[in-house]
Amino acid sequence: MRLQIAAALALLAVSSAEAQDLSTAAPVAGSWSYAPMTDGSEAVFANDSGMPQLWVHCIRATRRVSISRAATAAAPLLNVWTSSLAKGLPSSFNPTSGRLTIDLANYDPLLDAIVSSRGRVGFAVGAQPPLVVPPWAEPARVIEDCRA
């Protein structure tokens, strides 16, 4: 019985994080950059200090887009918020790079929601403050690279 209660509370926590409304949150100051890579292309969002915070990477051979956020520990989900869609996705953690990553097919509707989001896109992990970034053209270019 205790296990069922714990599972129910965990689902409630995930649902509340996923449902977090970031429509009035201010995006972090910083900028996006785009670069072609040997296996595809990548857009990186760095804060004003120049520290990379978010990566959008296209792997052309598999037509997959990965989105990574800087993190210090593993988490089961990375919650993504856009002005039209909010979704929690299973994530993997790489302790060497310090990144929490989600992997999406090149035509996943969440990618379209990210590039067309109005004014901001948010990425939240557990109880940590969300990373809210502006939806500039660089991530859209990476996504289009994986669709071409």
Please check the confidence at residue 69 and state whether its pLDDT lies above 60.
Answer: yes
Confidence of residue 21 (pLDDT cuts 50, 70, 90): confident
126: left (phi over 0), alpha (psi -120 to 50) or beta: left
Confidence of residue 52 (pLDDT cuts 50, 70, 90): very high
Please check the confidence at residue 9 and state whether its pLDDT lies above 90.
Answer: no
pLDDT digits (tens, 9 = 90+) for 95-146: 999 999 999 999 999 999 999 999 999 999 988 899 999 999 999 999 999 9
| Residue 124 contacts residue 111 (beta carbons within 8 Å) | no
**Average pLDDT of the residues in 68-74:** 94
Q: Quote the pTM value.
A: 0.86
CA dist 25 and 54 (Å) reads 17
Q: Classify the C-alpha dihedral 86-91-95-99 as positive or negative.
A: negative
Domains within the chain, CATH numbers bracketed: 2-20+29-147 (2.60.40)
Report the mean per-residue pLDDT for the chain.
Answer: 89
Confidence of residue 2 (pLDDT cuts 50, 70, 90): low
Q: How far is CA 53 from CA 14, 46, 148, in A?
A: 22, 5, 27
